[in-house]
């Protein structure tokens, strides 16, 4: 592991922990600082509002000179997010700058939720609906938001343990 990358990621984590952007949370894996888990909350007044979306960021030894690989773990329906969770976001590709830190990356991803670029689609169906049938697009996004609640409950249940050390399940949310 590159010492420069590790130092930079420690600095990024300290900044994110001391001054987190609204609706964003992230931290390195306790066993590997090069892999981060993050959560982005859907921006207010958007179809993604009330959603809680999990991501992973995987950094190479070349960071910050090369961007991390960012992937949604949560199921997403968005013009610029591939079905496998990878993003089509310019700052993670041809517009990358070493001045971007983890907070800037996650803020850009959060902004993308509110401001998709349907002319450069990763998900053609989502881009087409966004341009031609916004109500249907918003309906599908609402389903994604609801799925994010269940994803997070399942993730919480997987990591929650009782005093005996056995896994416990989180209570189910009744259907509305």
Catalytic residues: 88
Determine how β-strand 32-41 pairs with β-strand 24-29.
antiparallel
Q: Is omega for the bond preceding 116 within 30 degrees of 0, making it cis? A: no
The gap from C-alpha 132 to its chain's centroid, in whole angstroms, comes to 26
Whose tokens are 């964003």? That residue is 24
> CA-to-CA distance for 123 and 105, rounded, in angstroms?
21
């Amino acid at each position: 592991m590159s010492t420069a990358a590790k130092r930079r990621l420690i600095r990024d984590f300290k900044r994110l922990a001391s001054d987190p952007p609204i609706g964003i949370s992230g931290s390195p894996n306790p066993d590997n600082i090069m892999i981060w888990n993050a959560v982005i909350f859907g921006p207010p007044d958007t179809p993604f509002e009330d959603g809680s979306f999990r991501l992973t960021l995987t950094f190479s030894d070349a960071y910050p000179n090369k961007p991390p690989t960012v992937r949604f773990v949560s199921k997403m329906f968005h013009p610029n997010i591939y079905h496998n969770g990878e993003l089509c976001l310019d700052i993670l590709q041809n517009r990358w700058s070493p001045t971007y830190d983890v907070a800037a990356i996650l803020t850009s991803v959060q902004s993308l939720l509110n401001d998709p670029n349907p002319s450069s689609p990763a998900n053609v169906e989502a881009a087409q609906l966004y341009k031609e049938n916004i109500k249907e697009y918003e309906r599908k996004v609402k389903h994604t938001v609801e799925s994010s609640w269940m994803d997070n409950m399942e993730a919480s249940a997987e990591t929650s343990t009782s005093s005996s050390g056995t896994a416990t399940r989180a209570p189910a949310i009744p259907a509305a």
